[in-house]
Amino acid sequence: MKTCWTWLQISRRLFIVTTNIDAQRTAVWNMGAIAASDYSGRLQLFRNILVASASAPGLFAPAYIQVQAGNARFQEMHVDGAVTSNVLAVPESVLRQKVALTDTAKPKLYIIVNGKITPDFAVIGDGTLSIVARSFYSTVKANTRNTLIATYDFARRNGWQFRLAAIQPDYAMTSTTFNFDTDYAGCSISVSRWAARDSNGNRR
């Protein structure tokens, strides 16, 4: 089955992913469109989305986002997008399909993972918070690997170029859960710069 699908050039757009816990679904937010809108509550909405995208369940409080359906107004509970979708590259609805593009040029898909995708051994304390954090982090890793496999299969099936960069498996981590170490952040930036250049050292 072939599906006609317009590939969006998102290089100048900022999309942020959250998870709608109430609906158990991924929410993708176009932050530029929100900022440019005439909605009076756009600043608070922008902030709530940012908070939600970093709210790991069990570790940080969720963010409540005001929505309206018809005449009814209510609040949705949103948390970290990694709960349902840790890689925003190809929409889940088309991952198993073959797409038809009007342009003859094959797209190039670059994915940079800000972390490791390989398992790391660590001795975890028996405290509830440590166990919850480690469990969530492990789940995110597993979901990331599964999504990357599905995305690679999609790219291979459609003849797209697929490039992936992540922190090296042998890089020493300073945290067994979420890493805010400055050296680790610097390593992530270096990986990003490397991935943005071709074999001749030129920017892609």
This prediction has a pTM of 0.65
pLDDT band, residue 130 (cuts 50/70/90): confident
Q: If you average pLDDT over residues 59-73, what whole number do you get?
A: 88
Confidence (pLDDT) at 29 = 93
Mean pLDDT of 175-200: 57
pLDDT at residue number 89:
82
Mean pLDDT, the chain, as a whole number? 79
Q: In sequence order, which ranges of the chain are alpha helices (DSSP H)?
A: 31-36, 42-53, 128-158, 182-195
From residue 18, alpha-carbon distances to 53, 56, 171, 185, 190 in Å are 5, 10, 29, 22, 26
Euclidean distance between CA atoms 143 and 82, whole angstroms? 8
Domain extents in the chain: 15-82, 106-195
User: Of all residues in the chain, what percent carry a pLDDT higher than 70?
Assistant: 76
